[in-house]
Amino acid sequence: MRDQYHDELDGVTQSLVDITRLAGSAINRATTALLEADLQEAEAVISGDAAIDQLYADIEARALDLLARQQPVASDLRVLITSLRMVADIERMGDLALHIAKVARRRYPASAIPPELHATVLEMGQVAQRICAKCSSVIAGRDLALAAELERDDDVMDDLHRKLFRVLLDDAWHGSIEGAIDVTSCGRYYERFCDHAVSVARRVIYLVTGERVTVES
């Protein structure tokens, strides 16, 4: 019975890895949809969000079931409580990729991102995907060193986010108000995507060490 219980605990962790990979794929495809005005990719992200939501509900149900049936204590209790918090962050990451895809679909057949900002937004998408891939590895291996790297990667995203605003506020910007809103919204979605990934990494640090780390909301 204890072996089965720990197999179920391990299954929750594996499902967290799986849902994180889905979020990573979603942000990658959403970036392509946004920059290349690719309606097919946008629709794939939008329809694919249902799989993320379903896995989120499944992980939550399994974790709550284990809490009720096994009444875990100590480290096992920490695993389950932390898993419930992590999966909420990861599901939100999927939602943010969904928002980006919806911006891409709304502006089709044009790109929502002006040509002069394509390189910056492309880099934001690449950073988001890299952070998500590391987040998956952090969950799978409980790798504290890699978790610390996510903080530095997030600083890169914050710099890119500020760069977008500098362009929009510069007198040389002659884009439309609608375009500025799209850029501002997408910049925020990328920035928040990475914030949630960092929150997951911090929760893994707590899971391993028992030391609480401030988690941004």
Identify the band that residue 216 occupies on the pLDDT scale cut at 50, 70 and 90.
very low
Is 111 within 8 Å of 33 (Cβ atoms)? no
Is the residue at 114 inside a domain? yes
120-159 residue pLDDT tens: 999 999 999 999 999 999 999 999 999 989 989 999 999 9
Q: Nearest 5°: phi and psi at 128?
A: -60, -45
Give the pLDDT confidence of 123-134 residue by residue, as tens digits: 999 999 999 999
Instruction: For residue 217, tell me if it sits in a domain.
Output: no
Query: In this structure, are residues 37 and 110 in contact, taking their beta carbons and an 8 Å threshold?
Result: yes
| Closest by CA position to 124, among listed 172, 157, 101 | 157
CB 136 within 8 A of CB 146: no
pLDDT for position 5: 86
Looking at residue 171, which CATH number applies to its domain? 1.20.58.220
Q: Does a structural domain hold residue 164?
A: yes
DSSP class of 117? G
pLDDT band, residue 171 (cuts 50/70/90): confident
What pLDDT, on the 0 to 100 scale, is given for residue 72?
84
> Does 113 reside within a domain?
yes
- When computed from its CA atoms, the radius of gyration of the chain, rounded to whole angstroms, is 19
pLDDT at 66 over 80: yes
∠ at Cα 208 (205, 210), nearest 5°? 85
214 is a domain residue: no
Is 36:105 a contact under the CB 8 Å cutoff? no
Q: What is the pTM of this model?
A: 0.93
- 8 Å CB contact between 75 and 142: no
Note whether residue 46 is domain-resident: yes
The boundaries of the domain holding residue 167 are 2-209
pLDDT given for residue 215 in this prediction: 45
135 in a domain, yes or no?
A: yes
